[in-house]
Amino acid sequence: MKAIIQTGYNKTQIKEMPSIPLSPISIKVKTNFVPLLRYDLLKINGQVPTKLPSILGYGATGTVVAIGNLRSSSLLNKRVLILNPWGTFQEKITSNIPPLTIPILDNVSNEEATGLIGGADLALSLFKIVKNTFKQIIIYGADSVTGLVLMQLLTRFTKVPFIPKARTLSANYLKQKINEYNIKPDIEATAQKNNLIIDLVGSDINDKLYQHIQNNDEVISVAQNDLLGVKFISKPALPKDYSFLMNEISNNRLFIPINQIFNYKNFNEAIEYQTTSPSRGRNLISFKD
Ligand SMILES: NC(=O)c1ccc[n+]([C@@H]2O[C@H](COP(=O)([O-])OP(=O)(O)OC[C@H]3O[C@@H](n4cnc5c(N)ncnc54)[C@H](OP(=O)(O)O)[C@@H]3O)[C@@H](O)[C@H]2O)c1
């Protein structure tokens, strides 16, 4: 079984690994796709410390190929989204935590389900935090996967006014996605006191965030946890959150932007592409033959 292992900073290898034996409570999944996240890049380049060596990734989609004899066999041969803190960038994933294997609804594609991990799930957590606000929301990094999903949820379920912000090179992409996904931003936005700022970018926009802090705006960030005056948000999604998001997709109320798909054998190419390209949807790594 092949796995993508991080062996050092800026060092990854595709290695042959022994398959983990099936225990009575295990479930074994043949991997279809894993999402390539900014978090993975930060681990690879050493900005996020990690144990070395380790298998990259914590989420995947795939098909259940074996189930331990103490677990219900109802998921056998079914497509699932699987979360596994011990790594998912591998051809087969063995999990011993039953709730973290979530069935994929029939009319949700493997690509869309994979795109829920590390972006749409975060958007749902943010949505729950901000949905009852009386403030005007300003979203920096609105063209990100998280931003596009958050704006769809705000449009479908609230009347909260929100203003998307993206850098100039992503303005056309953002406009196109706003139309395609029927997102309704606040076009009559006026300069207002007491805004709620959402930072999906990180330290590259700190000059703007400082201005907001000076204006007494409330600032929350998912991208940096050490900025004075900014509340950091990191909240794991629950299995029922993924089921909710899949239900929205299957009812055509939620769209997940997917960009490039790379075979795992071309992992270095995927890293290079993601490092040098703006966000145009989630890039995926395929483990299909
Ligand atoms: N706290 C948590 O638990 C958690 C979990 C998952 C993700 N995250 C974080 O959540 C954020 C969104 O994730 P995502 O996967 O949706 O991100 P993404 O699709 O990779 O998008 C990143 C966003 O940052 C913008 N950006 C990058 N460099 C920039 C710069 N120099 N100046 C201005 N904007 C810049 C991108 O704009 P362009 O398209 O123009 O490049 C894009 O809007 C990321 O920061 C990620 O690390 C946090």
Question: Residue 191 falls within a domain, yes or no?
Answer: yes
Residue 30's SS3 state is strand
Distance CA 259, CA 14 (A): 23
Q: What is the CATH number of the domain that holds 176?
A: 3.40.50.720
Say if 17 falls within a structural domain: yes
pLDDT at residue 260 in the model: 98
Question: What's the domain count of the chain?
Answer: 2
- Residue 108 CA to ligand 1 center (angstroms) comes to 25
Protein residue whose Cα sits closest to atom 3 of ligand 1:
234
Pocket residues: Cβ below 6 A from ligand 1: 37-39, 118-119, 122, 141, 143-146, 166-167, 169-170, 200-202, 204-205, 222-223, 233-234, 278-279
Closest ligand 1 atom to 38 CA: 47
Task: Please report the pLDDT score of residue 189 as a whole number.
Answer: 62
Distance of alpha carbon 198 from alpha carbon 136, whole angstroms: 11
Question: Strands 54-55 and 282-286, how do they pair?
Answer: unpaired
Whole-number pLDDT of residue 120: 98
Q: For residues 133 and 25, state if they share a domain.
A: no
How far, in Å, from the CA of 120 to the mean position of ligand 1? 12
Q: What's the pLDDT score for residue 235?
A: 87
pLDDT at position 98 is 83
Q: What is the mean pLDDT of each run of 10 residues along the chain (289 residues)?
A: 97 94 95 98 95 97 97 96 97 92 97 98 98 97 98 98 97 98 85 89 97 96 96 94 98 98 98 98 94
- pLDDT at residue number 191: 66
85 and 121, same domain (yes or no) = no
Tell me, yes or no, whether 186 and 141 share the same domain: yes
Per 3-state DSSP, the chain is made up of helix, strand and coil in percentages (nearest 5) of 35, 25, 40
Q: What is the CATH number of the domain that holds 82?
A: 3.90.180.10
In a domain, 157, yes or no: yes
162 backbone dihedrals φ, ψ, rounded to 5°: -140, 150
Q: Which 3 state secondary structure label does DSSP give 250? A: helix
Closest to 52 in 3D by CA, of 6, 115, 104, 98: 6
Q: What is the pLDDT of residue 99?
A: 84
Long-range (24+ apart) CB contacts under 8 A made by 147-150 are 147/123, 147/200, 148/177, 148/181, 148/183, 148/255, 148/257, 149/119, 149/120, 149/123, 149/124, 149/254, 149/256, 150/123, 150/126, 150/198
**Same domain for 127 and 98:** no
Phi–psi pair at 268, nearest 5 degrees: -65, -40
CA of 222, closest atom in ligand 1: 1
- Is the domain of 261 the same as that of 191? no
CA distance readout (Å), 127 to 57, 131, 151, 206: 24, 5, 9, 23
Contacts of 158 (CB under 8 A, 6+ apart): 131
Which domain does 142 fall in, by range?
116-232
User: One-letter amino acid identity for 286?
Assistant: S
At 217-249, the pLDDT tens digits run 999 999 999 999 999 999 889 999 999 999 999
pLDDT of residue 207: 98
Kindly report the protein residue whose alpha carbon is nearest to atom 11 of ligand 1: 200
Q: What is the DSSP string of 45-74?
A: TTSS---SSEE--SEEEEEEEEE-TTS-GG
Residue 242 falls within a domain, yes or no?
A: no
CA 273 to ligand 1 centroid distance, Å = 15
